[in-house]
Amino acid sequence: MKPLSFRKMHANGDDFVLLDLRGRHQPINSEIARQLGDRHRGIGFNQLAVLSDSVEADARLTFWNADGTPLSTCGSATRGAADLLMRETGATSIELHTERGLQHCERLADYSVSVEMGVPLFDWQDVPLAAEHDTLELPIDGAPAACSMGNPHCSFFVTEVEQIDLARFGPPMEQHPLFPQKTNVHLVQVIDRQTIRLRIWERNGAIPLGSGSCSCAAAVNGIRRGLLDSPVKVLCDGGPVSVTWDGQGKVRLAGPVESVFFGTLLLNAREPA
């Protein structure tokens, strides 16, 4: 296998690795993603984002979790890829092609990056849930709201997020029988109608400093509940992002992104046939 060039980045502490495979054929599989995601034997990340060629956009972007499972969306890594491409070309806007469709990305005046995250889905089959329920108020203690941003989300609106032991609260909710594909779990504290404090238990087991898709889903669920007005400032453990949604169309996520280091890595994983 040829060496892989990578870039380690983060968005408010939500760390990811970006692989640029444009112009070359070297498929990424679960084994490779898992090796890269190992924080002791690889690089380590919350998500892996892979850039490849696209005829429809400036590049195609695909995602993997650290455990090697594929992922449909990642707001932090999408911002990172957009930041890289805009620095590379000098453009102030680009298009990325993901499983969520074409995503328009822009450089903002404060040099942060704004990306389209697609239209949120609310039908129980789209989240998905194991049975038909109103996703605005699920039959679970705490009556959370659920939606999909390309991955499943469940938002609990609470009085004080810091008073809840997220490491104990998150795992059973992530694996609740109502969520056949598991779910991201949010603790959401409404500060005012345009500000929330958010803590996250991420699907597949972690407490990240932030998450783009979770920030979007928490804000969307708060707007649906009539608790919030767009735009919403989301205060994650690692810092703030902004989420804009008109109640019908695509969600837009904006926030900072930073490069940490870059290099090359030679893996022992066998390339797929």
Retrieve residue 268's tokens. Answer: 């022992």
Question: In 3-state terms, what secondary structure has residue 224?
Answer: helix
Q: Which CATH number fits domain 145-249: 3.10.310.10, 3.20.20.70, 3.30.572.10, 3.90.700.10?
A: 3.10.310.10
What does the pLDDT read at residue 273? 39
- What one-letter code names the amino acid at 119? V
Is pLDDT above 60 for 70? yes
Task: State mean pLDDT over 53-72.
Answer: 93
In 10 A of CB 272, how many CB atoms?
11
- Asked: is 4-113+257-265 a CATH 2.40.110.10 domain? The reply is no
What does the pLDDT read at residue 267? 65
Retrieve residue 160's tokens. Answer: 């004080």
DSSP bridge partners of 128: none
Question: In the chain, what are the domain boundaries?
Answer: 4-113+257-265, 145-249
Compute, in degrees rounded to 10, the torsion defined by CA atoms 210, 254, 135, 166.
Answer: 10
165-196: pLDDT as tens digits:
999 999 999 999 999 999 999 999 999 999 99
Q: How far is CA 2 from CA 59, 153, 257, 262, in A?
A: 21, 37, 28, 16
Is pLDDT above 80 for 238? yes
Least confident segment among 21-30, 58-67, 96-105, 176-185: 21-30
Is pLDDT above 60 for 100? yes
Residue-averaged pLDDT of the chain: 93
Q: Does this chain's domain 4-113+257-265 share its CATH topology with 145-249?
A: yes
Retrieve residue 105's tokens. Answer: 């990305």
Q: With contact defined as beta carbons under 8 Å apart, do 183 and 172 qualify?
A: no
What does the pLDDT read at residue 169? 97
